[in-house]
Amino acid sequence: MPLKRLQQYLEQNHVSYELIPHPETMTAQETAAVTHISGKELAKSVVVGIDGKWAMVVLPACDSLDMEKLRRVTGAGEVRLASEDDLKTIFQDCELGAMPPFGNLYDLPVYVDEHLREDSRIAFNAGSHRELVRMPYDDFERLTNPVVASVHA
């Protein structure tokens, strides 16, 4: 179960967090609305292939990923979005599209859009479309050791 794995990881690393159950939602913007969390604080995870290797990009729910900016940041020749089949293979313990932004738990490098640093907290799907985790942004960055850059459209 993804939530249990995530909770154990956060607890092992002495992170205080809040679990927020909510009605099932299918988009980050819907989740922001039902949980009354700003679309800037709520993070969404996008999985991309960067020159044939998977990576996770984390950005505010209210922003879109600019693939060209990401390509320039990474110095890649090719950047492409993962397909649903790819996501099912990589995140076997998560509901499709609800993976937490801890790519490091799945051996994926993590890229974070600089806009997420504007809030002291970050909230994100905990592996399902019915639960969020909210925690201090600084702890998230400490645990994922991401590349932080401007990758939003």
E strand intervals along the chain: 18-21, 43-50, 53-60, 79-81, 110-113, 121-125, 131-136, 147-149
Average the pLDDT over 104-127 and give the result: 95
- The answer to whether 53 and 133 are in contact (CB under 8 A) is no
pLDDT bracket for residue 5 (50, 70, 90) = confident
pLDDT confidence of residue 40: 86
pLDDT confidence of residue 29: 80
- pTM confidence score: 0.94
Average the pLDDT over 76-99 and give the result: 95
- From the number of C-beta atoms within 10 Å of its C-beta (0-12, 13-18, 19+), residue 75 rates as exposed
Average the pLDDT over 4-14 and give the result: 93
Average the pLDDT over 49-54 and give the result: 97
Q: Which two tokens stand for residue 119?
A: 């809030």
pLDDT bracket for residue 100 (50, 70, 90) = very high
pLDDT bracket for residue 17 (50, 70, 90) = very high
Q: Which two tokens stand for residue 133?
A: 């985790």
Neighbours of 101 (CB within 10 A): 24
Domains and CATH numbers, the chain: 2-149 (3.90.960.10)
Residue found under tokens 């299918």: 26
Nearest CA among 83, 94, 4 for reference residue 47: 83
Is residue 1 over pLDDT 90?
no
The whole-chain average pLDDT of the chain stands at 94
Rounded distance between C-alpha atoms, residue 109 and residue 118, angstroms: 22
Is residue 108 over pLDDT 80?
yes
Average the pLDDT over 64-93 and give the result: 96
- The answer to whether 12 and 4 are in contact (CB under 8 A) is no
pLDDT confidence of residue 28: 82
pLDDT confidence of residue 2: 63
